[in-house]
Every structure is written in structure tokens, then in C-alpha cells.
Structure 1
Amino acid sequence: MCFSGLSRSLADMLVFSWTLLALLLVSSSRAEEEVATIEEVMSQELPVGELLDRANRDRVPDLDEPVLIGGDIAIDQESDRNADPCTSRGCMWQKWTDGKVYIPYYIANHYSSRERAIITRGLESFSSVTCIRFRPYQNGDQEWISIESRNGCYSYVGRQGGGQTVSLNRQGCLYHGTVQHELLHALGFNHEQTRSDRDNHIRVYWENIIDEMKYNFDKINTLNQGTPYDYNSVMQYHKHAFSKNNQPTMMPIPNSNVSFGQATQMSRNDIERVNRLYKCCE
């Protein structure tokens, strides 16, 4: 009789444990869904430039991390500050005989399944509109992008050789447009406001820029691919970028009322530039 009572107690304990575990799993799943919903809402409300500004504003890099210019562009040496790799040394990834550009990638294992899904969606968004094909890293690959949660959001501009880091920090960088922005850097593109013809389309208010950040507005001898200046580019920062007094650091000209720096994903011009640079239609 005592044995029977003990068995019932053990059974009750097991039922309770499994019920508690189920509740915890449901609670965890709901919490993750809520976080995903909040992030999705924020990504719809905030343009990519503002998301990057928030993510990198108080960035404290590790000793093995690169210097950043322009907010999120990684460089290894000061001489790269005003150079466009596409015009100074070549920045393009290899194009294969089938007309596709296959770029190996590795996603660090510290991301959750939901976070990996956001990154993968950004990678795959290029395949339907360009000849770029991001594919998982394989043994023997000589060049690849390594997507890691380092300090902030950043990427090098263009192909570097070997493995090159694209940092997408788990806190603040995992949005569709942000992933696209950093991948466009890796493909060879700079920010729109540093275009060689910038002064015909944007007036820079140097007096409103944080003094040590003024170099971020230096023009670069960019390859513009014969495309017009694009206020809606995912590579265009917002009008208060790097402001020291909450006043605009740049405004569109001649019409200051034109909306700009509000992109949440790649524009048609962004896509067209990729196709022209990599000659996707040939």
C-alpha cells in the first residue's frame, strides 16, 4: 500500500514536472515571438541609417576589431579612409561561367534560429533580383564572409581575400534592411552621401557635425554605375546623422522637402547598381 502511494506520488511529480516544462517552453516561445514582433515593428518605423546609428553609437570595439568610418565601414589602415576599393584596387567577387557570382558565407553558431532566419532572408533577397548567390561555406573555399555578432554593425567594402567579417550584433543589427546594407558594403558599395557627385544633390551642414566625425562626409571617387543619386537608397543616411546639436547635417537640394534617408530595404537603384557592377545581364 505504501509502495502504491509512493508510485502515485512519483507519477504526480512527473506530471507536474512535464506540465511546468511545457509552460516554460510556451512562455519562452511567446517571449521570443514578442521580441521578434517588437523588432519587426521597429524595423518598419526606423530607417536603416537610424538603426545603424543606434547600434554603433556607443560601440566599444575589441582589440582585434577594425576601425570604422562612415559609421559602419571597416578599414584596416588610415590610407583606406578616402579610397574606393572598386577604383583603387578592385573590389569585386568572382563571376563564374554560368553568369552567377557565388559568395560563400559562414554564420557563427551564437545566433538563435530566429536570428539566423533574419540573416538568411537578407542573404537570399539578392538571388531573386541580381546574379549574386550567397551560399554556405564549404571546405576549400578561399574567400568568404564570416557573419558574426561582434561589437556593432559593420562590414568591409568589397572583397578582401580570405575570410572577412560582417558584424551583425545580436543587439540592434538584426533587421532585414540592416543585413542588406552590410551585404551591399561587402559587395563593394559605399554610402550614398559620399558619392563623387554628392554636392549636386545634398548640402552638407558641416557646422552641425560632430567634429571628429566630419571625415565621414568626405566625398569618395565612387563608381556610380551611371545611376542617379538615390535619396531612397538603403545606403543613404538620415538627415541628422552624426549631428552634435540635433540639427540636420545634410539636406537634399534644390528641394529641401524631398524625403530621404528613410529606406528600410534596398531600392530599385541599389539593385540596379549591383546588376551593373557585376554585369548580371550579360
Structure 2
Amino acid sequence: MKFKNVVKSTTVTTLILGLIAASCSSEDFEEAPENSDNEVQLTEKFFLGEKVLVEKIDSETYKLDGSDILLSPDQLSDAAFDLKQNPEPTGEVSTKLGLAGGIRKWPNNTVIYVLDNSLTANQIEVTRNSMEEWSTKTNVKFKQRTNENYYVTISNDGRSCNCGSANLGVIGNRGVIRIGTRTSEVVMIHEIGHTLGYIHEQNRSDRDNHVRILFENIQNGAESQFRKSDRAQLIGDFDIQSTMMYGAYTFSKNGRPTITRLDGSVYPRRSARLSSGDIAGTNQAYPGDNGGGDGNGNPDTCEGVEEWSRNRSYQVGDRVTYRGFLYERDFSRWNRIKECGSNPEEDICNGVSEYSRNTRYSAGDKVTFRGFLYELQSNGRWSNQGQCGN
């Protein structure tokens, strides 16, 4: 199907399961459909090299059509590109760090967050309970921001709905999680999954081996929420009980299921907890020791870590050594963690300013960017020098 560069669509059904909020809400949330004359401008972009339709929210934010996923301009491109499935861990990224693209993990397994003043007492309680679900069952930790230059802002979107939206991964200081006044822990746990970098489970490339998508029951305009992504990194096995999985009736236009098991049976509603698959997958993507070790209780070290091989496939969280450095696999690239054998006494990022897209840099200049130290090379590319805090 061909799309024009800008597509106008009129939302006819705007309030079922938080559709108006572009959310993945609890299946307990029900509200009658309501007509709307609001026009949404959809622009054709490419995300992870795949064609998508997005709505521009502001200069720093795009929303994936009909979804609760928010993307930054850095994550989108105007043309298709070949996303390498097994990139070489050189540590180099594009000339403009702000256009590095892809999905980025949180360094040191720690989500840095800000609670906006707009949040109600109930929203704060829901947020803290949801964080506790993640932090008590996985290696992920949460830290309220002090002076960090990369963080996610959690705010009230002002609507009375059980809904939410969130950026994928760490987006410098522009990442957000927006929730409604009636947002439940079911939804908030899900939105935290997005900020950790996770896509929806039903969008996985292997989903047809496990579930059936019943497009005849899906609301008009919501079909894109059930597309498969062949470029997104898979973490663990498909998990129908995942917090990232849509409910069986999500975006139904007729009260019939939109997703079933292969045998046609309907699976249970999501609950306010992580599944065993969520826990195992997260502990793979975010290895133990706050990201400062090998996942087995050992400190940051290259000892026992295999050298990178172009003949192997790697998952998010895997570690390799390469030309004397320790690297960890991110969603779309490798992050240099440290030099093998080094044991710096202080943070390598101390005293180094954050990258600014408005500053002209010269070869040899160093900046910090999303938790890592970078140095501009003579070839005009930035080289990852290691993770801040190491």
C-alpha cells in the first residue's frame, strides 16, 4: 500500500480501551465510543528502517499512529536504511550524536526519573508501586533525578482515563511517560516497559507462531497496532502473559476478540504484575550488578568474556570484548563499557559537558550523551569512550 507524505484521518471511534489516549489500557476500562471531528495529520517516516505513520505532537515528539509509543525525531528518518542485525562493536556513531537513532538502554540499569508537579497523589502512588514491581523482580532500578542530564519526566496528561504513553528507551532529557488521572498499575507497569525500550509483544516478528490476529474485529484505523516489526530486537521467547502484550479484546469494534491463541481460545486479562517471561527477558537485557557486572555477581571485567564474532547472533544485554574493550549489546548498537584491565578511580565523565546540537565541535572534543562519554574523531564521527560511572 502506498501512502502520501501527509495523510489526514478522522477519528471516528475515540474512546475504547483508551484509544483516545493512544494507550494500552487495562481490559477493565470500558467507555462507549464517541464520534469526533478531530483531524489527525499522519506523516510517513521510517523507524528502525521500516515504514511507519506518525503524528507530530511537538518539535521533540512524534506518536506512532494509534499507539501509546512516543518517538523522538532522532529515532525517525525520511528514508529507509539497512539496520545491521550484527553490527561490529566499533564504538563509533554518526557525526551528530543527536541523530544516533534507534532505541537506547538505560545505563547502569537505572531509570532516572522526574515526578512532574502535575501528578496527583494517586498517580504518584501508582507510579511508585509500578516501579517497585520492576525493581523487586528484575535488575532494573529507579532513581529520582538530582543533577543527571538524561532522565524521563512522568507527568499527568490531564485526561480522566486509564491510559498512558511513553518514549521508547532513554531519550536524553526529553523522555516522557504521560498518564491519565485514572491510570492503573496495569497500565503504568506497561508504560515503564516502553521506557526500558520494549515494543509490544504482538508486534514481534515471531508472533504468528503463537497467536492469531483477527483483523476483521479490529477498529478501523487501529490496524497498524497489530503490524509485525521485522527489525526490532527480540528479547526472550514470545510471552502471551507479558505486560507488553495487548489484551484479547484491545481495539475491538464488535465485542469479539482481536487476538486469540492459535487454537482460537481467549487468554486471561493482564494483571498488575510482571510475568516470568518479563522478568527473565529484562534480566537478560539489563544484566545484574546494576549493569556494572557480568550478570553473575562479578564486577565489571573482561575476564571470561568472549571476543565478538561476526558469525554469532547477539541479544540485548550480551557482553563481548573487542580490541581490548568491553562492550554490551544495546537494542541497535554496541555500547562501550570500559577498557579491559582499567580501573579508574573516578567517573570518566566528571567535568565533561553534555552534548548540544547547537554547539560546533572539533576533533578531540569530549561530551557526555545519554550516560556515555564520547570523543569526536578526525573523521567527523563520535567514538564511545565508555559508560559514565566507570
Scaled to the shorter chain, the TM-score interval is 0.5 to 0.7
Counterparts of 1:63 and 1:229, CA distance in 2: 32
In the superposition, the TM-score normalised over structure 1's length comes to 0.68
Task: Tell me, yes or no, if the aligned pair for 2:249 and 2:256 is still in contact at 8 Å.
Answer: yes
| Pairwise CA distance, 1:70 | 5.5
1:25-45 Cα deviation digits (max 9, x unpaired):
xxxxxxxxxxxxxxxxxxxxx
Shift of 1:224: 2.5
Q: Is the contact between residue 186 and residue 270 of structure 2 (CA under 8 Å) also seen in structure 1?
A: no
Query: Out of 150, 166, 182, which is 1:155 matched to?
Result: 166
Q: Structure 1 residue 63: deviation in Å?
A: 5.3
- Residues in 2 aligned to 1:211 and 1:117: alpha-carbon distance in whole angstroms: 35
SS in 1 for 2:136: coil
Percent identical residues? 24
Partner Cα distance (2:286, 2:121) in 1: 32
Q: 1:91 is matched with which residue?
A: 104
Question: Which of the pair has more CA radius of gyration?
Answer: 1
Q: Secondary structure at the match of 1:203?
A: strand
Q: Distance in 2 between matches of 1:86 and 1:148?
A: 35
Could you tell me which residue of structure 2 aligns to residue 195 of structure 1?
204
For 1:185 and 1:203, the matched residues in 2 are separated by 23
Q: 1:204-215 alignment to 2 at 5 Å?
A: 204-215=213-224
CA distance, structure 2, for counterparts of residue 57 and residue 144 of structure 1: 36
Structure that is richer in strand per residue: 2
Contact 1:236–1:260 under 8 Å retained in 2: no
Q: What is the aligned length?
A: 224
Secondary structure of 1:127's aligned partner: helix
1:236 paired residue number: 245
> Does the Cα contact within 8 Å between 1:234 and 1:267 map onto a contact in 2?
yes
Counterpart in the other structure of 2:334: none
Structure 1: gaps of 5 or more residues: 1-46, 96-100
1:92 is matched by which residue type in structure 2? Answer: K
User: For the Cα contact (< 8 Å) 1:106–1:145, is it kept in 2?
Assistant: yes
Q: Deviations over 1:160-206 (max 9, x none)?
A: 22231100121x31x22221110010001111111110011111122
TM-score (norm 2): 0.50
- Segments of structure 2 that go 5 or more residues without pairing to the other structure are 1-23, 41-55, 86-100, 289-294, 297-390
Q: Secondary structure at the match of 1:147?
A: strand
Contact 1:233 1:263 in 2 (8 A): no
1:50 paired to 2:27: yes
Residue 272 of structure 1: how far off its partner (Å): 1.2
Q: Distance in 1 between matches of 2:255 and 2:141?
A: 40
Rounded Cα–Cα distance in structure 1 between residues aligned with 2:168 and 2:34: 20
Cα deviation code 1:82-107 (max 9, x no counterpart): 99x99772421112xxxxx2221111
Other-structure match for 1:103? 111
**Matched residues in 2 for 1:70 and 1:244: separation?**
15
Q: Which amino acid aligns with 2:106?
A: W
CA RMSD of aligned residues (A): 3.5
**Partner residue in 2 for 1:71:** 67
Alpha-carbon shift at residue 52 of structure 1 (Å) = 7.2
Q: 1:163 to 1:86 in 2, by over 3 A?
A: farther
Give secondary structure in 2 for the equivalent of 1:188.
Answer: coil
Structure 1 residue 250 and structure 2 residue 259: aligned?
yes
Considering Cα pairs closer than 8 Å and 6+ residues apart, tell me whether 1 or 2 has the greater RCO. 1
Give 1:271's match in structure 2, choosing from 276, 279, 286: 279
